[in-house]
Amino acid sequence: MDSLLLFFRKLALLFRREKFDSEMEEEMAFHHEQKEKALLADGVAPESAHYAAKRQFGNATQLKEQAQEVVSFRFETVLQDFRFAIRQLRKSPGFAFTAIGMLALGLCASIAIFAFVDAALIKPLPYRDPSRLVGVFESIPECPQCPLSYPDYLDWKRLNTVFSSLDVFQRNGFLLSTPEGAQTARGLRVSDGFLGTLGITPFLGRDFYPGEDLAAAQPAVLLSYAAWQQRYGGKQDVLGQTVILDGVPHTIIGVLPGKFQFAPARSAEFWATLHAPNSCEVRRSCHGLNGIGRLKDGVSIQTALADTKSIAAQLEIQYADSNRGQGAAVSPLIEVIVGDIRPILLVLLGGAGLLLLIACVNVTSLLLVRSEGRRREIAVRGALGASSTRLLRQFATEGLVLVAAGGSMGIVLAGWLMRFLTRLIPSDMLADMPYLQGLGFNLRVGIFAFSMAIFCMAIFSGVPTWPLSLSSLRGGLAEATRGSSGNSWRRLGSNLVVIEIAIAMVLLVGAGLLGKSLYRLLHINIGFRSDHLATLEIDAPDAVYGNDEPSMALERRVIREMAKLPGVQSVGVSYLGIPMDGNGNTTWFRIIGRPWHGEHNDTPQRNVSSSYFTTLQAKLVRGRYFNENEDTSKPNVAIVNQAFAKKYFSSDEDAIGKQLSFVPVATKPIEIVGVVEDIKEGPLDIATPPVLYFPLNQNPSDSFTVVARTSQSEASLLPAMVAAIHQIDGHIAVLNEVTMTDRINHSQTAYLHHSSAWLVGGFAAIALLLSAIGLYGVVAYSVSQRTRELGIRLALGAQPRMVYQLVMKEAGWLAAAGVAIGLACSIAAATLMRGLLFGVRSWDVSTLAAVAVVLGASALLASYVPARRAASLDPVEVLRSE
Amino acid sequence: MAKKSDLLPGTLDMLILRTLKRASQHGYGIALSIKHLSDDVLTVEEGSLYPALQRLLLRGWVKAEWKKTETNRRARFYTLTTAGRKQLGAELSQFEQMIAAIGRVLQDA
């Protein structure tokens, strides 16, 4: 009640503030007069009476302010401070724009990158209790996290004591029959409990029931929400309809939720069951299924790993021929999904953080220059009765205004930058990262932005008062403008510039190393000529082309038709993958004539046409290529790469003529007829493993990849190739039509290296600019402070050249100190990110030297202007103006 | 001149109220009264009366109006209100209790 009354009284006074002030003034004046009269009556001299009255009264201004504070609301002084701060900033728009711009830049970069980090690494996966989900793998030395075979999966599921459920999935392209012909559609084959393990229930319809993943059950399929919307117009009556996948009618039993995402599924439209076992899944040695398990309560990853390992060991004994060397691996699902991009995101976040730091340091040194200029103002305000808390609050408010303006600009820019960066990601890569759909502002990003702003504010509001402790107020008043006021600032400012240059060095070295990695990556020997190659994959219906004869006829026809297209020089085809796609199809073999104890030589396999190597322009090292007439009627032959020859044969042994056999199911002897130079079959940054090539005609297939070399533009050839295939048969699906150059540049490895190099490079360029501005500011200010000293030097006969050297030397020292500190920090930083480097050591001397030169040159450039100004001072004018 | 800190905290308000209990006064008058009544022992930094008076006004313990003095000068006169009288009573009894308590402690020692 009382406080309410108080509030209204204050409110009433708020609108009569002027009257309040004038009345207070009058009252105090009256008091003075009376006092003076009384003192005069006591016989005090008029002169001293006046001062005595004043003395006894106290500091009138301060008291008036105190009286005002009694009746005013707290926010009024805050508002006053704000108005004052804004007025101060408007008085120096150059400073305000620079400071706010730099802050906005730093905040924008770090907020945007943090949003990516949040979406990918921090936000929990959208499943029930996601921290209990793990990826489950079989493990061999060549492939530490490899898919399970179906019989192994069944045994693991039966024997384990650590998972409350264990399920598998496999990515699968379906041939979808539509009225317009065959299309390929992305799909997934899952075991019956897959959705239950994730903790997802369908948006419409039902989940698979137990046993629905067996061959005996009616084929059923779930639609993704997107497929339901796009292919079925979002109609409710979709349930129960039939869709023909790979020629088999499937009943649609449900629709997945719209927000459901599962990164490893990419953008799968059709979620079918395993309908196991297929031809691969009957074999314990055919590994195609990715495991996903939910840990039982209280079971740790280590326990789960130990349990699966013991099961694997048991199976190794039981099924020696197929399971020899097959271990187990368990890792958190989040690790499986985002493990690849975590280091890059963290490096980017670090880069953005450094950029923000450099922006803060720069603004801080600007503030220091200003606070030096305001030394007298502060001293005067202190003497006039501004309390120290009030002055501190004033500076805090100015910091707040800067950060608020910079921060809100930064947030707007960050939103824009996020959209921009997302748009830069190729759409098929974006499909692999569905978690980025949640990218944007949320509570965590908000808290991050807020704490960054608080961090900046803490720096800014503290700094201006630092060199001017209030005890030195009197000093400030006594000093003339040309005093030694610059000293404290120069020391602090110089330190700041050294920090700035060191940070810029770290960023530049990071960018340099990443750039060099990218260059090395794109210029490694890939073993073939990647230009002027057009590629596409085809998938023909098994019902028509499934047997060997029609498959072979199709392959020959495709090659013939492609060769007719204008500009095409040669055409080759490959089954089980072409360069760069890293298809993991491997086979086990033994070398005939050597002792064999059941070990598995696990080697990637490619089945290629006779024209394949000549089309790629791969280099034959020894022996010969396949002949067109080498089919199942001829002796089995193989070509190996150099890595294979090196691994399995000693240097004085010739691989040509040696014979191989598949294991565990023995085949006719396969003779090695040629050795080719290593072709980069997988990701660019991974050493090419030993590879076996077999003639396609001895293992015909109705789905394969076509590679065509053209003398003209390969991109413009692609549509003609697609049309020619459809001319052959409209039921053949064509997918992934892309040039080889794009395949390389858009491969995930190249793309991740590319984007991190460019982003860090961008940060580094801005950092370089900011540190040059910072150095310029320090040197220019130092010159302006020393104008008088330099003038005297010149007047006493110093050569302009010497003055010039004096200034440049100062800048040189700062730059050298910054580079030296930066060198140490960069090596440390580069060591932290060595996982991202390819073909470059973290202490790459040429990069470090180049960065030091660039920094040194820009430092000299930044100090050249003020140095020249110093050298061209007219001593007469300087001394006169002083 | 005694500094503000020489007064017990909170006593300035009480002294003002007590002074006004006898008659309404302007600020200068209040300062004089405190000085005279305490035989020059209690002197305040005179200016500090004014923020204190504003505080009392805001609380509604005194009211102010502009009047002419005997010498025909305009001055702001402060008068005790009923609420102020009550407040003074409360503060006085509190103060006396405290003084008595301090006295007892000092005697025992």
Residue A518: exposed, middle, or buried by beta-carbon count in 10 A (0-12, 13-18, 19+)? buried
Select the residue from A37, A66, A72, A73 to test the B interface by mutation, using most B Cβ atoms within 10 A: A66
Bridge partners of A204, per DSSP, are A255
Residues of chain A with pLDDT under 70: 1-2, 74-75, 372-373, 375, 385, 387-388, 461-490, 582-584, 881-882
Assess B54–A contact: CB distance below 8 Å, yes or no.
yes
Cα B1 from chain centre: 17
- Strand-pairing partners, residue B67, are B75
User: DSSP 3-state assignment of A139?
Assistant: strand
Q: And the tokens for A832?
A: 């932290």
Among A10, A34, A42, A68, the strongest candidate for a mutation testing the B interface, having the largest count of B CBs within 10 A, is A34
> Which helix (H) or strand (E) is A208 found in, with range?
none
Q: Is B45 within 8 Å of A6 when comparing Cβ atoms?
A: no
* Per-residue model confidence (pLDDT) at position B58: 85
Strand (E) or helix (H) holding A835 = none
In degrees, rounded to 5, the angle at the alpha carbon of residue A780 between the alpha carbons of residues A774 and A782 is: 105
Contact A95, A88 (CB under 8 A): no
Say if residue A235 is exposed, middle or buried (CB neighbours under 10 Å; 0-12, 13-18, 19+): exposed
Name the E strands within A121-162: 133-140, 143-146, 148-149
Where residue A695 falls (left for φ over 0; alpha for ψ -120 to 50; beta otherwise) is: beta
Tokens of B79: 């008068």
Question: Rounded to whole angstroms, what are the CA distances from A868 to A307, A414, A424, A689, A865?
Answer: 75, 40, 44, 61, 5
Residues B78 and B38: beta-carbon distance below 8 Å? no
**pLDDT score, position A496:** 83
Name the residue in chain A with its Cα closest to that of B55.
Answer: A70
Residue-wise pLDDT tens digits, A827-876: 999 988 888 888 888 888 999 999 999 998 998 888 888 888 888 877 77
* pLDDT higher than 50, residue B5: no
Nearest residue to A373 (alpha-carbon basis) of A485, A458, A298: A485
Q: Check: CB of residue A281 under 8 Å from CB of residue A274.
A: yes
Which residues are paired to B62 by β-bridges? B80
Name every chain A residue with its beta carbon within 8 A of the beta carbon of B31.
31
CA nearest neighbour of A101 among A366, A434, A346, A341:
A366
Contacts of B7 in chain A (CB under 8 A): none
Query: What confidence score (pLDDT) does residue A471 get?
Result: 46
Per-residue pLDDT at A418: 92
Q: How many percent of chain B have pLDDT more than 70?
A: 87
Q: Which residues are paired to A251 by β-bridges?
A: A220, A242
Find the radius of gyration of the CA atoms of chain B. 15
- What pLDDT score does A2 carry? 67
Nearest Cα to Cα of residue A552 among A709, A731, A737, A704: A704
Supply the pLDDT for residue A223. 95
Chain-centre distance of CA A725, in angstroms? 39
Cα angle at A370 between A367 and A372, to 5 degrees?
A: 110
Instruction: Please check whether residue A426 is in contact with residue A96, taking contact to mean a CB–CB distance below 8 angstroms.
Output: no
The pLDDT of residue A719: 93
**Cβ partners under 8 Å of residue A115, min gap 6:** A414, A418, A439, A440, A441, A445
- The pLDDT, as a whole number, for residue A16 is 78
Q: Any CB–CB contact under 8 A between B73 and chain A? A: yes
Residue B13 is part of a domain; what is its CATH number? 1.10.10.10
CB nearest to A31's CB, from B27, B66, B74: B27
**In this model, does residue B12 exceed pLDDT 70?**
yes
Q: Residue B44: pLDDT band by 50, 70, 90 thresholds? A: low
Shortest CA gap B41–chain A (Å)? 15
ipTM of the complex: 0.84
For residue B46, which residues of chain A lie inside 8 Å, CB to CB?
31, 35, 56-58
Q: Could you give the CA distance from residue A377 to residue A399 in angstroms, rounded to a whole number?
A: 18
Query: How far apart, in whole angstroms, are the C-alpha atoms of residue A675 and residue B67?
Result: 117
Which 3-state string (H, E, C) describes A223-250? Answer: ECHHHHHHHHCCCHHHCCCEEEECCEEE
- In a 13 Å sphere around the CA of A449, the CA atoms on its Cβ side amount to 28
- State the pLDDT at residue B1: 36
Q: Tell me what pLDDT residue A279 has.
A: 78
- Kindly state the tokens that stand for B48: 């500090």
Preceding amide of A277 cis, omega within 30: yes
pLDDT of residue B8: 65
Please count the residue pairs, one from chain A and one from chain B, whose beta carbons lie less than 8 angstroms apart: 64
Domain count, chain B: 1
Transcribe A587-630 into DSSP letters. EEEEETTS---S--EEEEEEEE-TTHHHHHTPPEEEE----TT-
Rounded Cα–Cα distance for residues A171 and A184 (Å)? 13
Q: Is B47 on the interface with A (CB under 8 A)?
A: yes
Give me the DSSP letters along A394-448: HHHHHHHHHHHHHHHHHHHHHHHHHHHHHHHS-HHHHHT-GGGGG-S--HHHHHH
Q: Is B50 within 8 Å of A9 when comparing Cβ atoms?
A: no
Q: For the CA atoms of chain A, what is the radius of gyration?
A: 38
Could you tell me which chain A residue has the CA closest to the CA of B76?
A27
Q: How many CB atoms lie within 10 A of CB A593?
A: 9
pLDDT tens digits for B58-76? Answer: 888 898 888 888 888 888 9
Residue B48 has its nearest CB partner, among A10, A33, A63, at A63
Instruction: Give A99-110 pLDDT, tens digit per residue.
Output: 899 999 999 999
Nearest residue in chain B measured CA to CA from A55: B45
Separation between Cα atoms, residue A38 and residue A44, nearest integer Å: 9
Alpha carbon distance A145, A147 (integer Å) = 7
Residue A225 has a CB neighbour count (10 Å cut-off) of 18
| Closest to A111 in 3D by CA, of A340, A454, A440 | A440
Domain interval for residue B11: 4-108
Chain mean position to CA A220: 39
pLDDT of residue A542: 82
d(CA A122, CA A444): 9
- Which of B31, B47, B76 shows the shortest C-beta gap to A23? B76
Which of left, alpha, beta for A188 (phi over 0: left; psi -120 to 50: alpha)?
beta
Q: Which residue is associated with the tokens 């393990």?
A: A197
Q: What is the pLDDT of residue A555?
A: 92
Check CB contact of B1 with chain A, cutoff 8 Å: yes
Q: DSSP string spanning A270-338?
A: EEEE--B--TTTT-TT-EEEEEEEEEPTT--HHHHHHHHHHHHHHHHHHTHHHHTT-EEEEEEHHHHHH
Beta pairing class for A636-641 and A703-710 = unpaired
Q: Which pLDDT belongs to residue A385?
A: 67
Under a CB-based contact definition with an 8 Å cutoff, are residues A637 and A670 in contact?
yes
User: CA A18 to CA B12: how far, in whole Å?
Assistant: 27
Q: Amino acid identity of B65?
A: E
